[in-house]
């Protein structure tokens, strides 16, 4: 089984693609503003469309549901590119840790804040709790494809699935209690790579 990764092949956005990305970004920014001001459950798609100055039908061309507006992860293509740039002689978990740290280190501050707000919505808004399972499965499929490509294995390989499940689970656990940033991701992946030495080291304070 092969998994098609987003971002395969050359990507040189033209004027139309840049305009579409601006519209998509405006919809999300305005939606998040409304979520902050009046709550996720109280915000309608019609209100989001009006704030972004688009029609509801245009909203649906970018996001099939309000949930998908929050679930969409814009860091996926960046992570794929960063992982592919890691030397092949680097261990898989180390490569993933380095890629994640590099992506967050190069994100503008506003983008980091946006991603942290997205994670906070996903894990703490009751109406979105049912979507966490789908997000967990999506993350496993994406990372399995990334690691399988790197290692020359099948995405359904047992060890690939276990490793990606551990990484996705670590990210999920971080998101429920701490900011999802380079420092916390690095700390979690270091802990996984060390073999989960729980109780063998002194606990450190959470950032």
Give the tens place of pLDDT for each residue, 101-134. Answer: 899 889 999 998 999 899 889 888 988 887 888 8
* Delimiting residues of CATH 1.10.10.60 domain(s) in the chain: 15-64
Q: What is the pLDDT of residue 139?
A: 87
Q: Do residues 146 and 5 touch, judged by C-beta distance below 8 A?
A: yes
Q: What is the pLDDT of residue 171?
A: 86
Q: What is the pLDDT of residue 200?
A: 67
For the domain spanning 15-64, the CATH number is 1.10.10.60
* Delimiting residues of CATH 1.10.357.10 domain(s) in the chain: 71-193
Q: Is the dihedral of CA 40, 41, 45, 49 positive or negative?
A: negative
Q: What is the pLDDT of residue 163?
A: 93
What string of DSSP letters covers 129-188?
A: GGGHHHHHHHHHHHHHHHHHHHHT--TT-HHHHHHHHHHHHHHHHHHHHS--SHHHHHHH
Q: For residue 160, give the nearest of 34, 46, 1 by alpha carbon.
A: 1
**pTM of full prediction above 0.75:** yes
Give the whole-number percent of the chain exceeding pLDDT 70.
90
Q: Which residues contact 144 (CB under 8 A, 6 or more apart)?
A: 3, 155, 156, 160, 161, 164
pLDDT band at 99 (very low <50, low <70, confident <90, very high): very high
- Cα 13–Cα 14–Cα 17 angle in degrees, nearest 5: 70
pLDDT in tens, 143-193: 999 999 999 999 999 999 999 999 999 988 888 888 878 888 889 999 998
In this prediction, residues 51-74 reach a mean pLDDT of 95
Q: What is the pLDDT of residue 205?
A: 54
pLDDT at 1 exceeding the cut of 50: no
Q: Which CATH superfamily groups domain 71-193?
A: Tetracycline Repressor, domain 2 (1.10.357.10)
Burial call 45-81: b when 16+ CB within 10 Å, e when fewer: beebbebbebeeeebeebbeebbebbbebebbebbbe
Q: What is the pLDDT of residue 37?
A: 97
In this prediction, residues 3-11 reach a mean pLDDT of 52
pLDDT at 39 exceeding the cut of 90: yes
pLDDT band at 140 (very low <50, low <70, confident <90, very high): very high
pLDDT at 2 exceeding the cut of 90: no
Tokens, residue 57: 């039908």
């Amino acid at each position: 089984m092969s998994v098609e990764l987003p971002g395969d092949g050359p990507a040189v956005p033209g004027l139309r693609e840049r305009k579409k990305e601006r519209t998509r970004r405006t919809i999300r920014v305005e939606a998040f503003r409304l979520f902050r001001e009046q709550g996720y459950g109280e915000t309608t798609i019609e209100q989001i469309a009006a704030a972004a100055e688009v029609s509801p039908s245009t909203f649906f061309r970018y996001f099939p549901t309000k949930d998908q507006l929050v679930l969409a992860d814009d860091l996926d293509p960046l992570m794929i590119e960063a992982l592919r740039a890691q030397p092949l002689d680097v261990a898989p978990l180390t490569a993933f840790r380095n890629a994640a740290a590099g992506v967050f280190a190069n994100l503008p501050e506003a983008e980091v804040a946006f991603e942290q707000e997205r994670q906070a919505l996903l894990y703490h808004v009751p109406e979105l709790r049912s979507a966490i399972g789908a997000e967990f499965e999506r993350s496993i499929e994406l990372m399995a494809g990334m690691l399988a490509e790197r290692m020359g294995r099948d995405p359904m390989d047992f060890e690939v699935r276990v490793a990606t499940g551990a990484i996705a689970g670590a990210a999920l656990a971080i998101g429920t209690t701490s900011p999802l940033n380079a420092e916390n991701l690095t700390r979690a992946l270091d802990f996984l790579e060390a073999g989960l030495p729980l109780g063998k080291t002194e606990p450190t304070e959470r950032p």
